[in-house]
Structure 1
């Protein structure tokens, strides 16, 4: 095992120590995908079944044909959420009820558009309907506690001393898509609106770094399944390691389930070219990101999830390896993957 940490919080001057943790953003989606995979493994959740089998209200407004796999692979046509303010994210059950009553943003399976915030809302509610337990509790009972892993969807107040805020430059709203073919216009418009929905989460109070809603106590305490995970890299690496090999006697997924969730489930559904020069995602696992040109991980057999600003956590089944990188300082290199990943992954690949 290799376990590295270091650096200093520029706001407080506090060192990043062994127990420090911060927001993992969309690396949370990998944990939600893992919880879904465990239910698939147990036979309680069929990825090819309609969502409405488990959540009957979801069938409203023409959504009766959307499957669990459609949601897990971001082809359900529902990337936007019925929210007005960031506070709307703090009530996942009420928000899920509003999602269930809505029509899709565009025809399901007609295009793949990343479900930035809605993924966690929808999959989290599916898990709640299947198990009777919310995703935060499932994560604690089925993943974190067995491994002694420091990761939470809703950070307890008792763990606040380990939290360091995620730091980044102010988010500039993306340019509106232009020149898109009519067939993909609705998908591109929805992708644009869903991206705009995250901008208020990063608006500072009086321009002061660290005052963004994502770093505030209400967001930190809430169950925001698609992006609210608080974790350290060590814990995420242990979790992914336990997906492909026993870690202190704990194995989270069996080999058959690993093979099932880490193959391509996107099935050729295209991602629309909404912005010039954007590289489309052409392959995706069952809820997990799998190796692709902008996130190679350790190549074929890798599955996990990246997170905003440079977070990355995954398993590599052929080498029985778990890896994670989490940091305070968020970077947004364009184009291509975070250069910090390349340094770490090149070193990992050599051993």
Structure 2
């Protein structure tokens, strides 16, 4: 451990966020970063701890973290650009762009269905998939095109398939993979340190977890339901016995929905750019998309409890996760995506907030992990205090 010193910047009024980050770093974290933009201005940009326990390498300003399913929010941001450019349309059948996809009654499945886990394709069900297969996007897309959809329920979340579906659609319509389209149309124009899989030499934090974290997947591997096993144990995302995501062969593979790395600063900035687009006058070109395209993407499309995971999910038409259970508050209009092990990446358009939290210690999805929640509560408190001071 390199220590618990908190590095970075906190704007006046957000000192409580820094104190919370410091407490987490001292008591829970290995290493982490947290960044917040408020109405387009960076107000929190913090990092600290250890990026690599084996070498003692410290977490620096430029350290990137693996965000796992937080990658799906980056895919949704890329889909904004694709839709705004007229390359794809959310309400169009996938088969318009990818004719083979129509097999087995999928001719009416839309792009929006694929983006929101409503296509009935939460998993590869036709063959055993090992971790090494995850980087073969063309094979995975071919297998999904040849599958019959699961008829019900409407929403079935899965860790991998969204990425392969949207990658194939991007390749078919632009000649570029989703990764290369994102690099060209989103990351490069805005100087974002976000990409798929980079070696430690490029400053990526190494992952830390123990079997208590990996054990949460045991119930899927032993399930009597073959769809559950196909979705969550074909392959198991975080197997016991070693941190496979530190292995170069897997970390540096191209797995669209699962292995993006980035700095919290740049992931938060991406969400800030989207919020800025949302608030532009109608018809005015945006950073990624016009306001009408962003509004369409954030329009609630599906909300229900996922039967395999047992808690409510909600998605906007363009693939951003929304509040699973609607409620009021400063973050009621939240959109974005969290990631396995605890990362969180969201925008709150009404409050002008964009945030990203990137840890490298992965904790159980249940009651063991309060890190992102504690930071968000501290952020809400800071916003409330600033509002009260402004109206006093």
Is the pair's TM-score, using the shorter chain for normalization, greater than 0.5?
Answer: yes
What is the CA-CA distance between 1:66 and the residue it aligns to? Answer: 1.3
- Cα displacement (A) at 1:297: 9.8
In 2, Cα distance between equivalents of 1:225 and 1:300? 28
Give SS of 1:281's match. strand
Q: Report what 1:348 is aligned to.
A: 379
Cα distance in structure 1, aligned partners of 2:327 and 2:260: 20
Q: Which of 127, 133, 148 is equivalent to 1:88?
A: 133
Deviating more after overlay: 47-56 vs 298-307: 298-307
Kindly indicate whether the alpha-carbon contact (under 8 Å) linking 1:25 and 1:229 is maintained by their aligned counterparts in 2: yes
Give the 5 Å matches for 1:224-235.
Answer: 224-235=255-266
Matched, 1:311 2:315: no
Q: Return closer, same or farther for 1:178/1:294 CA change in 2, 3 Å cut-off.
A: farther
Do 1:114 and 1:191's aligned partners in 2 also have CA atoms closer than 8 Å?
Answer: no
**Alignment match, 2:301:** 265
Structure (1 or 2) with the greater strand fraction: 2
Aligned counterparts of 1:92 and 1:168: Cα–Cα separation in 2: 27
How far 1:345 sits from its partner (Å)? 1.3
Alpha carbons 1:233, 1:326 under 8 Å: kept: yes
Equivalent in 333, 337, 348 of residue 301 of structure 1: 333
TM-score normalised to structure 2 length: 0.76
Name the CA distance, whole Å, in 2 between partners of 1:316 and 1:113.
25
Return 5+ residue gaps in structure 2 as ranges.
Answer: 1-41, 278-284, 384-392
Alignment match, 2:153: 110
Counterparts of residues 1-351 of structure 1 (less than 5 Å): 1=42, 2-8=44-50, 9-81=52-124, 82-104=127-149, 106-107=150-151, 110-155=153-198, 160-170=201-211, 171-172=214-215, 173-175=217-219, 189-199=226-236, 201-203=237-239, 207=241, 209-210=242-243, 212=244, 214-245=245-276, 251-266=287-302, 270-271=304-305, 273-274=307-308, 278-282=310-314, 284-293=316-325, 298-335=330-367, 338-349=369-380, 350-351=382-383
Contact 1:240 1:323 in 2 (8 A): yes
Which deviates further from its counterpart, 168-177 or 29-38?
168-177
In the TM superposition, what whole-angstrom CA distance separates every residue of 1:27-63 from its partner, at most 9, and x where no partner exists?
A: 1111111111211122221111111111111111222
Gaps in structure 1 of 5+ consecutive residues? 180-184
Q: CA deviation at 1:256?
A: 1.8
Go from structure 1 to structure 2 and tell me whether the alpha carbon gap of 1:132 and 1:161 turns closer, same or farther (over 3 Å shift).
closer
2:329 and 2:238 mapped to 1: Cα distance? 28
SS in structure 2 at match of 1:6? strand
Runs of 4+ with deviation above 4 angstroms: 176-179, 282-285, 293-298
Q: Is contact 2:89-2:111 (8 Å) kept?
A: yes
On the 8 A contact 1:136/1:154 being kept in 2, the answer is no
The question of whether the paired residues in 1 share the 8 Å contact of 2:312 and 2:325 is answered with: no
Please give the alpha-carbon distance, in whole angstroms, between the structure 1 residues aligned to 2:61 and 2:49.
Answer: 11
- TM-score of the two chains, using structure 1 as the length reference: 0.84
* Residues 20 and 164, structure 1, Cα contact 8 Å, conserved in 2: yes
Q: Offset at 1:18?
A: 0.8
User: Which has the higher Rg, Structure 1 or Structure 2?
Assistant: 2
* Helix, strand or coil at the partner of 1:344: helix
Aligned-partner Cα distance in 1 for 2:128–2:266: 32
CA distance, structure 2, for counterparts of residue 143 and residue 76 of structure 1: 26
The verdict on how the C-alpha distance between 1:335 and 1:261 changes in structure 2, with shifts beyond 3 A counting, is: farther
SS at match of 2:257: coil
